[in-house]
């Protein structure tokens, strides 16, 4: 697992994210002679992140208008999830379906004991059983790798940086005799931008990890590669609307659910599909193509 050292990349990106926060805090402390603003924003960030972390499954399921299904209603889906959960020696998650033709899937929950798996009706119609198994292996590994916690912490730190940057723009740096106004403005603008980029980079490394670990769980990386090709085409034909609730939950999904290119791809929480597929084909020993 982790052939591309994604765990180390995640740790390094977190280090950079914390360095940005500490640098911003040092700049404010130099201007105000007080670290109180940083602590206040940090506490707010921790509180909002804790709520999102503990309720991540409910928030995402509500955003997708998903409904629970029984084994009698979705026997094939239950069978795949049960087999993979047993293989990973983890408890069986709750199963949901989302009534949309946009092809996608996600798994969420703060731990394996409180996990939920959701597939759209579109992805069930688009993929065969082997491809769906590859997708579900990927999604379950997000839960087993505690990626919800990772994403929550990254979002909290990035949120604090953005809030502090906005405070700097609105109120300045306090005692101007002890601060450089140009440095304040630069940090106020650049720090939130940098934090957002780092947060997206962390999300991308977790996607690569889930691809690799999910394929190790299923033993079939080419099934996931084939599924990703179909999903990418399907999203272009049936993207989700740019509703803010869906935007907030989109990082959980196996593919970016919105149509777009150019700058939107640059700022996507998902790696380029072509790169993901090439890595999966490399795992299977097949030349990318």
**Beta-strand pair 116-120/94-98:** parallel
Say if CB 231 and CB 104 are below 8 A apart. yes
Length of the chain: 289
Among the listed residues 131, 139, 207, 212, the single catalytic one is 139
Rg, C-alpha atoms of the chain: 21
Say if CB 165 and CB 264 are below 8 A apart. no
Q: Distance between CA atoms of 74 and 85, rounded to whole angstroms?
A: 16
For residue 281 the two structure tokens come to 């084909």
Of 56, 64, 63, the closest CA to residue 97 belongs to 64
254 membership: H or E segment, kind and range:
none
Phi, psi of 181 (to 5 degrees): -60, -35
Q: Does 139 qualify as catalytic in the annotation?
A: yes
CA 38 to chain centre: 26
Long-range contacts of 242-250 (CB under 8 A, 24+ apart): 243/63, 245/62, 245/63, 246/63, 246/64, 248/59, 248/63, 249/59, 249/60, 249/63, 249/64, 249/106
Say if CB 203 and CB 253 are below 8 A apart. no
The DSSP bridge partners found for residue 96 are 68, 118
H-type alpha helices, the chain:
6-32, 36-54, 56-63, 75-87, 121-126, 129-144, 147-171, 181-218, 221-237, 244-249, 263-266, 273-283
Give catalytic residue positions: 139
């Amino acid at each position: 697992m982790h052939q591309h050292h994604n765990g180390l990349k995640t740790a390094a990106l977190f280090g950079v994210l914390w360095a940005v926060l500490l640098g911003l805090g040092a700049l404010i402390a130099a201007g105000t002679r007080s670290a109180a603003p940083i602590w206040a924003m940090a506490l707010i960030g921790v509180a909002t992140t804790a709520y999102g972390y503990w309720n991540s499954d409910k928030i995402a399921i509500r955003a997708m208008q998903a409904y629970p299904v029984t084994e009698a209603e979705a026997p094939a889906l239950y069978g795949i999830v049960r087999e993979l959960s047993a293989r990973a020696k983890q408890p069986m998650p709750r199963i949901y379906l989302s009534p949309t033709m946009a092809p996608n899937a996600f798994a969420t929950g703060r731990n394996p004991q409180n996990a939920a798996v959701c597939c759209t009706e579109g992805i069930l119609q688009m993929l065969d059983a082997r491809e769906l198994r590859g997708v579900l292996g990927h999604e379950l590994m997000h839960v087993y790798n505690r990626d919800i916690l990772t994403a929550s912490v990254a979002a909290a730190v990035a949120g604090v940086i953005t809030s502090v940057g906005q405070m700097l723009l609105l109120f300045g740096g306090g005692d101007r005799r002890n601060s450089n106004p140009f440095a304040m403005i630069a940090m106020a603008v650049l720090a939130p931008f940098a934090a957002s980029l780092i947060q997206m980079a962390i999300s991308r490394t977790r996607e690569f990890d889930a691809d690799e670990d999910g394929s190790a769980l299923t033993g079939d990386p080419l099934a996931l590669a084939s599924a990703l090709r179909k999903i990418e085409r399907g999203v272009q034909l049936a993207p989700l609307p740019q509703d803010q609730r869906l935007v907030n939950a989109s990082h959980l999904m196996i593919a970016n659910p919105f149509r777009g290119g150019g700058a939107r791809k640059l700022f996507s929480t998902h790696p380029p599909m072509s790169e993901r597929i090439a890595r999966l084909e490399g795992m299977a020993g097949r030349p990318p193509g």
